Amino acid sequence: MKTLNDLVEKLKREGVLKDPKLIDAFLNVDRAFFVLNYLKDFAYEDEALPLIEGQTISQPWTVAFMLDLLDLKPGLKSLDVGSGSGWTTMLIWWVTRGPTYASEINSHVFDLGVKNILNFFEVKFNKRELPPEVHLFNNNGVYDLKEYAPFDRILVSASSQALPKSLVDQLADNGILVIPIENTLVKVVKKDGKINKEEFPGFVFVPLIE
């Protein structure tokens, strides 16, 4: 069985994990907390793994690539849409330690993610409770968290057919949104009310439910 260090070193060698803050997050937010029990032996494989209800926990390479595009910094306010297992939410929180909002529309997947996150905090910090800056919601993150906007960073981990205007509207000035649109990862930067897009093709995600 591979180790967490094996996985991190692989991602570093492949040039996708290079920010020291992200490396620290990957080493501390152990993926093994967020995979299903029967798949623990595969937690450090660089591949997507099944969750429940047809959902997956994304491939570590892909997660590292997306979070690198987000350019996370301490203190930023973030939204994680399609938080699933809770792994990406905790990686974002670990780097930023800022207000971190996470939304999962499937109630069973949401319950699993909450359990994973609480287990993580219990083992890591000896407290089975969320810190005050972490907010978890069982709702539609594309529309239902507008009252907490604007967000400095938005991550979407499910594939949309088009760029959701609602999420662009919720993005702060100088904010960054990373979202899969069909089979392409799109980085959206908002500046002075205008958006600039970069595209990175060749990715596959579960569909975004809007």
SS3 102: strand
Find the helix or strand (DSSP H, E) in which 175 lies: strand 171-181
Distance of CA 80 to the CA centre of its chain: 6
d(CA 144, CA 142): 6
Tell me which residue has tokens 């579960």.
206
CA terminus-to-terminus distance, the chain = 38
* Catalytic annotation present for 58: yes
d(CA 47, CA 204): 12
Contact 83, 89 (CB under 8 A): yes
Q: Catalytic residue, from 58, 83, 157, 159: name it.
A: 58
Pick the closest to residue 54 from 206, 210, 182 (CA basis): 206
Contact 149, 129 (CB under 8 A): no
Catalytic residues: 58
